Amino acid sequence: MRSDNAKAGMQQAPARSLFRALGLTDEELERPLIGIVSSYNEIVPGHMNLDKIVDAVKQGVAMAGGVPIVFPAIAVCDGIAMGHVGMKYSLVTRDLIADSTECMAMAHQFDALVMVPNCDKNVPGLLMAAARLNIPTVFVSGGPMLAGHVKGRKRSLSSMFEAVGSYAAGTMTEEDVKEYECKVCPTCGSCSGMYTANSMNCLTEVLGMGLRGNGTIPAVYSERLVLAKHAGMAVMDMLKKNIRPRDIMTEQAFRNALTMDMALGCSTNSMLHLPAIAHEAGVELNVDIANEISAKTPNLCHLAPAGPTYMEDLNEAGGIYAVMKEISKLGLLNLDCMTVTGKTVGENIKNAVNHNPEVIRTIDNPYSRTGGIAVLRGNLAPDSCVVKRSAVVPEMLVHEGPARVFDCEDDAIVAIKSGKIVAGDVVVIRYEGPKGGPGMREMLNPTSAIAGMGLGSSVALITDGRFSGASRGASIGHVCPEAAAGGPIGLVEEGDMIAIDINANTITLKVSDEELARRRANWTPKKKEVTGYLKRYAQLVTSADKGAVLQGN
Ligand SMILES: CC(C)(O)[C@@H](O)C(=O)O
Ligand SMILES: [Mg+2]
């Protein structure tokens, strides 16, 4: 046992005295130590129930003969951090979560781990840690929130943010906004659309690191407690069979994850996190594979913000396994990949049934023949940028318009809300990248203001920052290289024409090479005064197309 490094033999008697101080018995000192990484806290609604999940995991571990020991991971609520300086401190926690989990697992020599994440950065952060540590690990998340109901219709956080835009446009009253505020987030859990948290929890299931239902069983269902007990038992089984994260998170498993990302219409943040997790697993995942995979993968789900269905509907329709079963009919999944069940993907999904072909479209009747995400390139983004194509209205798939340039998100929001952005405009928000922000802010406020003000069919937004899974419209993010690293997005001037062709995967700044060279000769990227962790982060972080991993990892 790995934990014997800490607890066996004469030399470790002092450590055993400390284990006894924890209340461990002789019998427990003989058994495997299972670390349970709890992302529980009292500020994230998606995490406020994790204490119950953790308790259930503990029971599962103990039932199967292990000794469960809980330790924490920090967690940020992106919804609360949105639209102010707080959002600079969100993505940066992903790497802190990975690093701190590594430290705890190594320092105490746990034999295996159960990861209990839920919201946006905890899922990739803990998957990165699992890949790095490579000891048997199972994931069980806190589960999605139920949808809210406003005037009899299901609603969620994306419509809440857009309600603020509608208020600015004068089409909603303060009372209307208050009704949304009181009703869109009715329970604990990760907000109920295919936003980033749910995207990553679903992809954990696809990768094979979580059990069936990990992505979709609602947070308030007792079935989630059953799932958590099973996760505790499953990790003990993995330990016996010595199945490790890198046996599961192989190149083929990441291809499966990208394929299902396209079928499900996941958050664009998946294009940042999947390469980062793969990197930790020793797999290099180039974002360009996304287009190759997207070209052959139909988009079968339109959950919020792309359409009016929610995680609870996907769960009742058969969940992730049912979508995988549909996609496997096209031969697009590798069915031999190993999973935490000790069985292959093919064995896991064999009996899955699609109970609702409206929520999970069949392969003969997809929402689109190609996948939910597109990677674009061109002289404005030589190293790529990303858009959630499934949430773009058809009339914006090809668009050309004048640039309206802002050097931070806050200035853009003021301009949009005060009516200075008009139909046809292409809003450019720069110096918001991983280095430039620093922290690559997620910009749900400007995209929701555009949608809520009725400009979603005529205005595009381009940034070296990123978007929420709740953002819709022609919202093109992760522009690489970013402005702070000398990317051409920093050379754009007010009124320059920008041509976007999502069908052709291109983005073009219609300014000649000579003119761009002239501008570059007179330009040095803006520098911001930053302190503390953000200062260190800005020095170490790589570009978004590399998953914004930290140098040296
Ligand atoms: C607040 C949200 C919806 O979680 C957002 O942060 C996302 O990335 O989807
Ligand atoms: Mg987010």
Mutate to test the pocket of ligand 1, among 80, 122, 157, 471 (most ligand atoms within 8 A of CB): 157
Q: For the sheet with 67-72, list strands across it.
A: 67-72, 33-38, 112-116, 137-139
Q: Which ligand is nearest to the CA of 470?
A: 1
- Under a CB-based contact definition with an 8 Å cutoff, are residues 136 and 238 in contact? yes
Q: Which ligand 1 atom sits nearest the alpha carbon of residue 119?
A: 4
Residues 6+ apart with CB under 8 A from 357: 365
Cα 29 to ligand 2 centre (Å): 41
> How confident is the model at residue 553, as a pLDDT?
74
By alpha-carbon position, which residue is closest to atom 8 of ligand 1?
468
> How confident is the model at residue 198, as a pLDDT?
98
| Cis peptide leading into residue 481 (ω within 30°) | yes
Q: Which ligand is nearest to the CA of 144?
A: 1
**527, amino acid identity:** K
Compute the distance between CA of residue 137 and CA of residue 401 in angstroms, rounded to an integer: 49
Cα 89 to ligand 1 centre (Å): 14
Cα 81 to ligand 2 centre (Å): 9
Cα 11 to ligand 2 centre (Å): 47
Q: What string of H, E and C letters represents the secondary structure of 214-264?
A: CCCCCCCCHHHHHHHHHHHHHHHHHHHHCCCHHHHCCHHHHHHHHHHHHHH
Cα 107 to ligand 2 centre (Å): 30
- Cα 69 from chain centroid (whole Å): 27
| Cis peptide leading into residue 305 (ω within 30°) | yes
Q: Which ligand 1 atom sits nearest the alpha carbon of residue 471?
A: 9
Give the pocket of ligand 1 (CB within 6 Å): 78-79, 120, 157, 191, 195-197, 267, 269, 442, 468-470
Mutate to test the pocket of ligand 1, among 196, 203, 448 (most ligand atoms within 8 A of CB): 196
- Under a CB-based contact definition with an 8 Å cutoff, are residues 300 and 367 in contact? yes
Q: Which two tokens stand for residue 42?
A: 């009292």
Compute the distance between CA of residue 432 and CA of residue 141 in angstroms, rounded to an integer: 30
Q: Which ligand 1 atom sits nearest the alpha carbon of residue 158?
A: 3
How many residues are given for the chain? 553
> How confident is the model at residue 239, as a pLDDT?
98
Compute the distance between CA of residue 420 and CA of residue 327 in angstroms, rounded to an integer: 44
Compute the distance between CA of residue 532 and CA of residue 542 in angstroms, rounded to an integer: 18
Is there a catalytic annotation at residue 222? no
Mutate to test the pocket of ligand 1, among 88, 155, 195, 198 (most ligand atoms within 8 A of CB): 195
Q: Which ligand 1 atom sits nearest the alpha carbon of residue 199?
A: 9
> How confident is the model at residue 169, as a pLDDT?
87
- Under a CB-based contact definition with an 8 Å cutoff, are residues 472 and 451 in contact? yes
By alpha-carbon position, which residue is closest to atom 5 of ligand 1?
468
Give the DSSP H or E segment for 404.
Answer: strand 398-406
Compute the distance between CA of residue 78 and CA of residue 121 in angstroms, rounded to an integer: 9
530 CB neighbour count, 10 Å cutoff = 16
Q: Which two tokens stand for residue 476?
A: 């093109």
> How confident is the model at residue 452, as a pLDDT?
85
Cα 268 to ligand 2 centre (Å): 10
Binding residues for Mg(2+): 78, 120-121, 442
**pTM, rounded to two decimals:** 0.97
Compute the distance between CA of residue 258 and CA of residue 391 in angstroms, rounded to an integer: 17
16 CB neighbour count, 10 Å cutoff = 17
Handedness of CA 308, 310, 313, 317 (dihedral sign): positive
Residues with Cβ–ion distance below 5 A, ligand 2: 78, 120, 196, 442, 468
Mutate to test the pocket of ligand 1, among 91, 118, 191, 202 (most ligand atoms within 8 A of CB): 191
Q: Which ligand is nearest to the CA of 91?
A: 2
Q: Which two tokens stand for residue 143?
A: 């589960």
> In this structure, are strands 381-388 and 373-378 parallel, antiparallel, or unpaired?
antiparallel
- Under a CB-based contact definition with an 8 Å cutoff, are residues 267 and 388 in contact? yes
By alpha-carbon position, which residue is closest to atom 7 of ligand 1?
468
State whether residue 484 is helix, strand or coil: helix
- Catalytic residue among 468, 471, 475, 543, which? 468
Residues 6+ apart with CB under 8 A from 517: none
DSSP state of 2: T
Q: Which two tokens stand for residue 40?
A: 């529980």
Compute the distance between CA of residue 149 and CA of residue 169 in angstroms, rounded to an integer: 23
By alpha-carbon position, which residue is closest to atom 6 of ligand 1?
78
Compute the distance between CA of residue 248 and CA of residue 176 in angstroms, rounded to an integer: 48
Q: Which ligand 1 atom sits nearest the alpha carbon of residue 269?
A: 8
Using CA atoms of 240, 245, 247, 252 in order, give the dihedral in degrees to the nearest 10: 150
pLDDT tens across the length of the chain (553 residues) = 999 999 999 999 999 999 999 999 999 999 999 999 999 999 999 999 999 999 999 999 999 999 999 999 999 999 999 999 999 999 999 999 999 999 999 999 999 999 999 999 999 999 999 999 999 999 999 999 999 999 999 999 999 999 998 998 899 999 999 999 999 999 999 999 999 999 999 999 999 999 999 999 999 999 999 999 999 999 999 999 999 999 999 999 999 999 999 999 999 999 999 999 999 999 999 888 999 999 999 999 999 999 999 999 999 999 999 999 999 999 999 999 999 999 999 999 999 999 999 999 999 999 999 998 999 999 999 999 999 998 899 999 999 999 999 999 999 999 998 999 999 999 999 999 999 999 999 999 999 889 888 899 999 999 999 999 998 899 999 999 999 999 999 999 999 999 999 999 999 999 999 999 999 999 999 999 999 999 999 999 999 999 999 998 7
> In this structure, are strands 497-501 and 506-509 parallel, antiparallel, or unpaired?
antiparallel
